[in-house]
Amino acid sequence: MSYFTCDTSVIISRGLDDLRKTKGLLLSSVVLLELMASATDNSRRKVYEGVFLDFGRDNRLIVPNEADWLFASKILYWLSHHRRRVDGGRLRQLAPGISQRMALDALIATSAWQRKAALITDNWDHFKAIQYFCGVKLIKASEFFR
């Protein structure tokens, strides 16, 4: 069976309700963390918490393990050194919040790759840079939801 997961932007733009019943869907605990943290009210947070528990019970929750954390940290290191080479030895400062988002994206990608799940994303540029180092299969959300 083929497995896939979605990044946070896909779930925000397309909704979780329709996706929940899709065969082969795995959800990242990192994505659910982001959704719960940004929930507009407590009832929405509880919905995401229920999804977290349901997917955990069904073994469809992707939880980064030690190897994923280590690999994600290596990817972030490689990305920063690549930026330094491109910028002629200087490491320009990223916009506020970008490094944290990249860290979470690297965790999402490495843990999806370990579970052999394709990653559906609207955030193509971030994940394409990460894919160079980990080989996770990426699918543009616009193509997946045609």
Q: What domains are defined for the chain?
A: 3-144 (3.40.50.1010)
pTM assigned to the model? 0.88
**E strands in the chain:** 3-6, 27-28, 61-62, 117-121, 138-140
d(CA 48, CA 61) in angstroms, rounded, equals 12
pLDDT-derived band of residue 130, with 50, 70 and 90 as boundaries? very high
The residues, any chain, with a CB within 8 Å of residue 140's CB and separated by 6 or more, are: 120, 121, 122, 124
Q: Is there a contact between 16 and 120 (Cβ–Cβ < 8 Å)?
A: no
Q: How large is the average pLDDT for residues 134-144?
A: 94
pLDDT-derived band of residue 97, with 50, 70 and 90 as boundaries? low
- For 100-115, the pLDDT digits (tens) are 888 999 999 999 999 9
